């Protein structure tokens, strides 16, 4: 990309190079071709300029997954403004907080949405239908793309983390183009692909899968405005024949539990998983049922990319994969010293497109963004022969008998028991001491909790060292999860 080149212009041009008629977005029975996406985004840019939205100004997007999201996101970037996609399921107070934190004067949403409660005398609201604000259809003006400027935020996402208030993660405009040249290249995505992601556009993973990766190569994207359950995903796989599916471990687990042999033919060649460590057992069962690998990987909002991933034909169950070409990795102890090979350590990464600092949070920036371009990911990994196994978030690691226990490793073993539908492992305080506790959702009609606990204890003793075996088993009807499907282990610790 040339210096100063507008990244939204570049990504639209990349898609348009395959022909204006090629479908960019498919949703319901409708299709939005690349040519129409481009025209709408340019009109949206002019529409923002007419509302005196300045370069670098944050524009909140509270939009479900329909083409209106892409029109508003790319249109705002074409105008040089900074789109800020937000979770569509927040409260009015949350939107007011984020509006003030981002210093936004414009909220783009849909009619009747709670986010309209954040509109004030000084903050405008714009309502969209599936294709963007109805006004832009007849908007006569179109804006030439505003040059990119690294001194201004190009787009910004909010990272909620497990606790504390959300942090704005600003990215330069050009960071939008890096994932396609790195992770997308590893996946081998091309203009022939049709992608579908269960993760929503307002999350980094969803924005990558629904916009940054596919548009850069002229692929088509199937959008689903709600939160798809396993049945809806299978309907889309059967009805739209995507060639690449981006999901999360919880959803793959549900899909495995409801899988029917007739669905095998509809499973795409690329099945990717991120958001949480994929238990190796899910990879193995999926491969057996569908004949397809699940490519696990790990990314972050701060990286706006996946930086460790498995690749097609060379995946390993139980491993997040190898560093994506372009990224460097280091595993360090709490003092920052490199750990010995085969020892667990905190993962640091360095590579193109990482966030340079949080929005108005110098304290958090200092903790996370280190010298020489290295960034703390907050994840603990162990490396074996170049392959990285994810042991959990550093906050979730627990100590038992003076030794570190990876909740991910215990969950992986327990999930292999036939009476376990889902499980999560966290420390629980008993008589002033932390003990390993497994929270389990049993399969239906699995039997009484006491007998199950005894069976699980015996099962794990046969495959895990003593210090990793949970001292307690607690049955729960469901596990607490974030909107992205990540288990909230900190909530379990509070039970
Ligand atoms: O949610 C995640 O962990 C994630 C995965 C891939 C890319 C980006 C993100 C934030």
The domain that holds 37 is classified in CATH as 3.40.50.12780
CB 406 within 8 A of CB 414: no
Same domain assignment for residues 85 and 54: yes
Same domain assignment for residues 334 and 471: no
Q: Quick one: DSSP state of residue 53?
A: P
For 50, list phi and psi in degrees, rounded to 5: -65, -20
Residue 466, burial from CB neighbour count under 10 angstroms (0-12, 13-18, 19+): exposed
Considering the domain boundaries, does residue 153 fall inside one?
yes
Nearest protein Cα to ligand 1, atom 9: 300
Query: Which residues partner with 321 through β-bridges?
Result: 388
For 15, list phi and psi in degrees, rounded to 5: -70, -40
The 10 Å Cβ neighbour count of residue 431 is 5
- Strand-pair category, 420-430 with 403-405: unpaired
Considering the domain boundaries, does residue 396 fall inside one?
no
Of 248, 246, 190, the C-alpha closest to 220 is 190
Q: Which tens digit of pLDDT belongs to each residue from 447-462?
A: 999 999 999 999 999 9
Element (H, E) at 35: helix 34-50
Instruction: Give the atom of ligand 1 at the shortest distance from the alpha carbon of 276.
Output: 3
pLDDT band at 162 (very low <50, low <70, confident <90, very high): low
Considering the domain boundaries, does residue 253 fall inside one?
yes
Instruction: Give the atom of ligand 1 at the shortest distance from the alpha carbon of 305.
Output: 7
Of 217, 176, 209, 210, the C-alpha closest to 5 is 176
Give me ligand 1 centre to Cα 273, in Å: 10
Give me ligand 1 centre to Cα 190, in Å: 21
Per the listing, tokens 């008993």 go with 430
Nearest protein Cα to ligand 1, atom 1: 275
Considering the domain boundaries, does residue 233 fall inside one?
yes
Per the listing, tokens 């504390």 go with 164
Top pLDDT among 163 and 38 is at: 38
Q: Mutate which of 187, 251, 301 to test ligand 1's pocket (most atoms within 8 Å of Cβ)?
A: 301
Considering the domain boundaries, does residue 229 fall inside one?
yes
Same domain assignment for residues 237 and 192: yes
Q: Which tens digit of pLDDT belongs to each residue from 339-389?
A: 999 999 999 999 999 999 999 999 999 999 999 999 999 999 999 999 999
- Report the alpha-carbon distance of residue 294 to residue 311 in Å, rounded: 9
Same domain assignment for residues 462 and 416: yes
Q: Is 469 helix (H, G, I), strand (E, B) or coil?
A: coil
Same domain assignment for residues 364 and 433: no
Element (H, E) at 438: strand 433-442
Provide the domain count of the chain: 2
CB 425 within 8 A of CB 411: yes
Same domain assignment for residues 418 and 372: no
Considering the domain boundaries, does residue 397 fall inside one?
no
CB 424 within 8 A of CB 411: yes
Please say if the pLDDT value at position 1 is more than 80: no
**Residue 1 has which token pair?**
């990309």
Q: Is 185 helix (H, G, I), strand (E, B) or coil?
A: helix
Considering the domain boundaries, does residue 119 fall inside one?
yes
Same domain assignment for residues 369 and 453: no
Q: Which tens digit of pLDDT belongs to each residue from 252-311?
A: 999 999 999 999 999 999 999 999 999 999 999 999 999 999 999 999 999 999 999 999
Nearest protein Cα to ligand 1, atom 6: 299
The CATH number of residue 447's host domain is: 3.30.300.30
pLDDT band at 168 (very low <50, low <70, confident <90, very high): very high
The 10 Å Cβ neighbour count of residue 224 is 21
Nearest protein Cα to ligand 1, atom 2: 275
CB 101 within 8 A of CB 84: no
Domain's final residue, options 320, 353, 384? 384
Give me ligand 1 centre to Cα 300, in Å: 4
Please say if the pLDDT value at position 72 is more than 70: yes
* pLDDT confidence of residue 156: 98
Same domain assignment for residues 419 and 346: no
Considering the domain boundaries, does residue 442 fall inside one?
yes
Same domain assignment for residues 373 and 415: no
The 10 Å Cβ neighbour count of residue 17 is 13
Q: Mutate which of 299, 306, 349, 408 to test ligand 1's pocket (most atoms within 8 Å of Cβ)?
A: 299
Q: Which residues of 45-80 are buried (b: 16+ CB within 10 A; e: fewer)?
A: bbbbbeeebeeebbbbbbbbbbbbbbbbbbbbbbbb
Same domain assignment for residues 359 and 471: no
Same domain assignment for residues 376 and 413: no
Ligand 1 site residues (CB inside 6 A) read: 204-205, 208, 274-275, 299-301, 306, 484
Q: Provide the mean pLDDT of the chain.
A: 95
pLDDT band at 10 (very low <50, low <70, confident <90, very high): very high
- Report the alpha-carbon distance of residue 71 to residue 75 in Å, rounded: 6
**Residue 80 has which token pair?**
């040089």
Instruction: Give the atom of ligand 1 at the shortest distance from the alpha carbon of 303.
Output: 8
- List Cα–Cα distances, 204 to 89, 159, 160, 302, in angstroms: 16, 9, 12, 9
Please say if the pLDDT value at position 399 is more than 90: no
Give me ligand 1 centre to Cα 147, in Å: 28
Full domain range(s) for residue 426: 406-492
Whole-prediction pTM value? 0.95
* pLDDT confidence of residue 50: 93
Q: Which tens digit of pLDDT belongs to each residue from 201-253?
A: 999 999 999 999 999 999 999 999 999 999 999 999 999 999 999 999 999 99
Same domain assignment for residues 432 and 372: no
Query: Which residues partner with 383 through β-bridges?
Result: 388
Please say if the pLDDT value at position 163 is more than 80: no
């Amino acid at each position: 990309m040339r210096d100063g080149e507008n990244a939204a212009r570049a990504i639209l041009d990349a898609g348009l190079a395959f022909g204006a008629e090629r479908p960019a977005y498919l949703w319901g029975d409708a299709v939005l071709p690349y040519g129409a996406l481009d025209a709408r985004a340019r009109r949206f840019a002019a529409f923002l300029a007419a509302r005196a939205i300045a370069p670098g100004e944050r524009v909140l997007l509270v939009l479900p997954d329909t083409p209106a999201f892409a029109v508003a996101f790319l249109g705002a970037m074409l105008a040089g403004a900074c789109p800020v996609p937000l979770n569509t399921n927040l409260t009015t107070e949350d939107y007011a907080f984020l509006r003030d934190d981002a210093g936004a004067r414009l909220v783009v949403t849909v009619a009747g949405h709670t986010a309209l409660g954040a509109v004030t005398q000084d903050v405008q609201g714009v309502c969209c239908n599936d294709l963007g604000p109805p006004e832009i259809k007849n908007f006569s003006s179109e804006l030439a793309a505003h040059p990119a400027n690294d001194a201004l935020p190009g787009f910004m996402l909010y990272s909620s983390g497990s606790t504390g208030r959300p942090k704005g993660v600003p990215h330069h405009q050009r960071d939008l183009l890096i994932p396609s040249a790195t992770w997308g290249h590893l996946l081998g995505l091309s203009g022939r692909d049709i992608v579908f992601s269960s993760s929503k556009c307002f999350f980094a993973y969803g924005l990558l899968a629904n916009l940054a990766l596919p548009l850069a190569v002229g692929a088509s994207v199937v959008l689903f405005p709600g939160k798809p359950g396993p049945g809806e995903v299978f309907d889309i796989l059967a009805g739209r024949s995507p060639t690449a599916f981006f999901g999360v471990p919880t959803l793959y687990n549900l899909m495995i539990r409801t899988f029917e042999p007739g669905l095998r033919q509809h499973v795409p060649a690329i099945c990717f998983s991120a958001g949480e460590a994929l238990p190796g057992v899910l990879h193995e069962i999926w491969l057996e049922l569908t004949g397809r690998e699940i490519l696990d990987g790990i990314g972050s909002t701060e990286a706006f990319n996946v930086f460790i991933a498995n690749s097609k034909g060379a995946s390993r169950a139980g491993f997040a994969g190898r560093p994506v070409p372009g990224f460097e990795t280091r595993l360090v102890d709490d003092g920052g010293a490199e750990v010995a090979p085969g020892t667990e350590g905190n993962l640091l990464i360095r590579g193109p497109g990482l966030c340079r600092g949080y929005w108005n949070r110098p304290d958090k920036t200092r903790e996370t963004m280190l010298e020489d371009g290295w960034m703390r990911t907050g994840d603990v990994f162990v490396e074996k022969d170049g392959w990285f196994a994810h042991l959990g978030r550093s906050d979730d690691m627990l100590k038992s008998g003076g030794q570190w226990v990876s909740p991910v490793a215990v969950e992986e073993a327990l999930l292999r028991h036939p009476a376990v539908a889902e499980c999560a492992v966290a420390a629980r305080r008993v008589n002033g001491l932390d003990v390993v506790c497994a929270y389990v959702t049993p399969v239906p009609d699995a039997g009484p909790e006491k007998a199950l606990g005894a069976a699980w204890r015996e099962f794990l003793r046969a495959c895990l060292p003593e210090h990793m075996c949970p001292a307690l088993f607690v049955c729960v009807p469901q596990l607490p999860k974030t909107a992205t499907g990540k288990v909230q282990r900190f909530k379990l610790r509070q039970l």
